[in-house]
Amino acid sequence: MRTRISIAALLLMVLLALASPALAASVAVQPGNATADGFLPSTGCGCHGPLVAAWSPSMHAQAIVDPVFLTKVAEAQAEAGEETAIFCKRCHSPIGNMTGDSDGVASEVAGEGVTCMFCHQVTGLDGEPANTGFLLQPDLTRRAQLTDPAAPHPATYSELHTTAEFCGGCHNVDHPTNGTHLESTYAEWASSPYADEGIVCQDCHMSSAPGVIGPSTGTACSTGKERDNIFSMSFVGANVGQGPSDASTALLKTAASIELQSPEVVSAGSVATMTVTITNKGAGHYLPTGLTEVREMWLSVYAKGVDGAITQIGERLFHTVMKGADGSFPVEMWDAVGIQSDDRIPPRESAREEYFFEMPADAESITVFAVLNYRSVPDELAEKAGVENPTTEMVSTSQAVFATQGAKDAASAEGTTDATDTQGLSIWVVVLGAVLVLAVAALTGAKILASHKRLKQG
Ligand code: HEC
Ligand code: HEC
Ligand code: HEC
Ligand code: HEC
């Protein structure tokens, strides 16, 4: 009798433990697997003010209200049906998907797109990283990288949050029926040198500033202790028009370097060859990445005469082209069965382009320019969506080309052979430096003289 009671008590304890939030089973991102009260909106993140402020302007916060997304998803729905549109919205509002509210309109938290409590309740991956394949425990326990969280709410350590696989759950998009890799940012990273070096997405996209790699010291919340592994929830990317503008511009400027090689003397009327080399020096994936059949990164090469007249020499776009079932291209992502072409630049690799240009018959010199530009979407799509679509100059370089050796020598005597700004600047720095040194020398000389005079007088 006694033993039976204690077995019953034991069973009860086990059942209670199983029912307690910390031990509840994880669920996949599927309609009907959660209710909105399993998540809190960002306005409920009390002491994390700076993190909320960093996240708010991000594309994550706008994912399900982004007019560019809504424009494309409406096209997807019209051309490929409701089910495709629901697939699209899975990543752009995963909470909307789980709560049977794909458009993210029934609750504040679903309308917040990729929000705090979605990411921080992820417990694992449901298969290989892709297509929102996450497991989640919507029990209000926050999961992140802190091994000793001291929070007024349930919080626990999660190794997954420190990995690129976590981001890969959404940043690998495979076609839902034929598996074509529509977006492969995670896969591109996984086969890059950054993966070998242990530099993950978080190190570049959640650091204290664009171009800074890795965590910084700080506090997880306003009343928390100082820690040395703190990240920002800024998720800075390349969307200058709709995302955090200044930070996105700054990040884009860290991505590439550019080099131009041209003969310095080309006789008037003759044709010469120059090469432009672009290196993906700062992005931990292909350049560009993500929605690369839509993104526009292009190299523009042109010449400028002394009178300011510009002659276009060449232009080239770096992107992917999707192929349809009948072999036609380009097609929309929902119609894609494969990749027709992909000429983007892999991480730490370079693209080399050759261009021909003609030295005008009447010119003594020209300057050749190579400029790498980025724009989130084609102007036509931006107009349809009603959003700003600024062009960002990522990097540029230039070189002077002379019609004769004499013209080149004359220019170098004047110190103007190199047209790049930094070189011009360094000449001025040297001149200014020399003037300063002379001035200081003259002043100290005068002072010494004066003190000698005083000594003599004294
Ligand atoms: C896209 C997913 C994602 C979203 C959205 C997100 N976080 Fe995070 N958060 C992370 C990851 C990943 C880490 C851990 C980074 C690491 O260690 O590499 C983290 C770390 C944290 C930490 C630990 C302290 C720190 O700053 O490093 C806190 C607190 C936090 N997030 C709160 C928030 C709040 C509040 C929001 C909403 C305003 C938010 N997070 C939005 C993924 C996310
Ligand atoms: C639940 C899905 C989801 C997860 C998890 C996720 N992202 Fe995103 N992310 C998105 C979506 C969707 C967008 C695009 C939103 C838009 O532009 O409408 C995006 C956009 C971004 C952008 C901005 C791109 C730009 O053009 O400016 C960056 C950067 C980014 N994510 C980084 C990360 C990092 C780093 C992680 C991991 C810590 C992560 N994301 C995890 C879904 C996700
Ligand atoms: C070494 C730093 C570095 C790492 C690691 C890195 N990124 Fe990036 N990322 C950049 C830079 C720089 C840019 C801006 C240039 C560009 O658009 O590719 C960028 C751009 C992006 C964009 C916007 C692309 C566009 O044009 O719309 C997304 C999305 C993104 N990264 C996601 C990720 C994810 C997810 C990971 C991890 C799997 C990751 N990044 C790893 C540096 C990094
Ligand atoms: C598995 C997750 C996922 C799915 C599913 C998904 N997306 Fe996205 N989407 C993303 C990510 C991540 C980005 C950011 C990539 C980048 O910055 O280039 C993005 C960006 C976009 C953007 C760019 C928004 C902007 O402001 O520039 C559009 C448009 C878009 N997606 C449309 C769609 C459509 C249409 C579908 C369905 C056919 C879809 N997405 C399905 C993850 C997803």
Q: 66 C-alpha vs ligand 1 centroid, how far in Å? A: 21
Pick from 30, 159, 235 the residue to mutate for probing ligand 2's pocket: most ligand atoms within 8 Å of its CB. Answer: 235
Average pLDDT value for the chain: 89
pLDDT score, position 454 = 42
Q: Would you say residue 449 has pLDDT above 90? A: no
pLDDT score, position 447 = 52
pLDDT score, position 435 = 54
Q: Which two tokens stand for residue 299?
A: 């190299």
Q: 77-109: b or e for each residue (b if 16 or more CB lie within 10 Å)?
A: beebeeebbbbbbbbbbbbbbbbebbbbeebbb
> Which residue has better confidence, 348 or 47?
348
Instruction: Categorize the per-residue pLDDT at 22 as very low, low, confident or very high, splitting at 50, 70 and 90.
Output: very low
pLDDT score, position 458 = 30
Instruction: Categorize the per-residue pLDDT at 443 as very low, low, confident or very high, splitting at 50, 70 and 90.
Output: low
> What CA–CA distances, in Å, run from 381 to 124, 160, 384?
36, 36, 5
Percent of the chain with pLDDT over 90: 83
Ligand nearest to the CA of 40: 1
Ligand nearest to the CA of 253: 3
Instruction: Categorize the per-residue pLDDT at 343 as very low, low, confident or very high, splitting at 50, 70 and 90.
Output: very high
Overall pTM surpassing 0.85 (yes/no): yes
Q: From CA 454, how far away is CA 458, in angstroms rounded?
A: 6
Omega cis (within 30) before 330: yes
Instruction: Categorize the per-residue pLDDT at 46 as very low, low, confident or very high, splitting at 50, 70 and 90.
Output: confident
Q: Would you say residue 420 has pLDDT above 70? A: no
Instruction: Categorize the per-residue pLDDT at 414 as very low, low, confident or very high, splitting at 50, 70 and 90.
Output: confident
pLDDT score, position 18 = 44
Omega cis (within 30) before 288: yes
Ligand nearest to the CA of 239: 2
pLDDT tens digits, one per residue of 276-307: 999 999 999 999 999 999 999 999 999 999 99
Q: Would you say residue 182 has pLDDT above 90? A: yes
Q: Which two tokens stand for residue 121?
A: 């309740």
Residue 210 burial by Cβ neighbours in a 10 Å radius (0-12, 13-18, 19+): buried
Cα 176 → chain centroid: 25
pLDDT score, position 264 = 97
Q: Which residues line ligand 4 (CB under 6 A)?
A: 66, 68-69, 72-73, 76, 84, 87-88, 90-91, 131-132, 170-171, 173, 183, 237, 239, 242, 290-291, 295, 333-334, 376-377
Q: Would you say residue 14 has pLDDT above 70? A: no
> What CA–CA distances, in Å, run from 147 to 3, 225, 334?
40, 13, 42
Q: Would you say residue 312 has pLDDT above 50? A: yes
pLDDT score, position 413 = 92
pLDDT score, position 21 = 43
Q: From CA 422, how far away is CA 415, in angstroms rounded?
A: 13
> Which residue has better confidence, 439 or 421?
439
Q: 69 C-alpha vs ligand 2 centroid, how far in Å? A: 13
Which numbered atom of ligand 1 lies nearest the CA of 235? Answer: 1
Q: Is 202 in the pocket of ligand 2 (CB under 6 A)?
A: yes
> What CA–CA distances, in Å, run from 23 to 36, 150, 449?
20, 20, 85
Provide the residue ranges of all domains of the chain, joining segments of one domain with +. 25-197, 253-426
pLDDT score, position 415 = 76
Q: Would you say residue 6 has pLDDT above 60? A: no
Which of these, 235, 188, 186, lies nearest to 210 by C-alpha position?
235
Pair 172, 196: CB distance under 8 Å: no
Instruction: Categorize the per-residue pLDDT at 95 as very low, low, confident or very high, splitting at 50, 70 and 90.
Output: very high
452 contact partners, CB below 8 Å, separation of at least 6: none
Q: Would you say residue 366 has pLDDT above 50? A: yes
- The domain defined by 253-426 folds into Immunoglobulin-like (2.60.40)
pLDDT score, position 223 = 85
pLDDT tens digits, one per residue of 210-247: 999 999 999 999 888 999 999 999 999 999 999 999 99
Instruction: Categorize the per-residue pLDDT at 426 as very low, low, confident or very high, splitting at 50, 70 and 90.
Output: very low
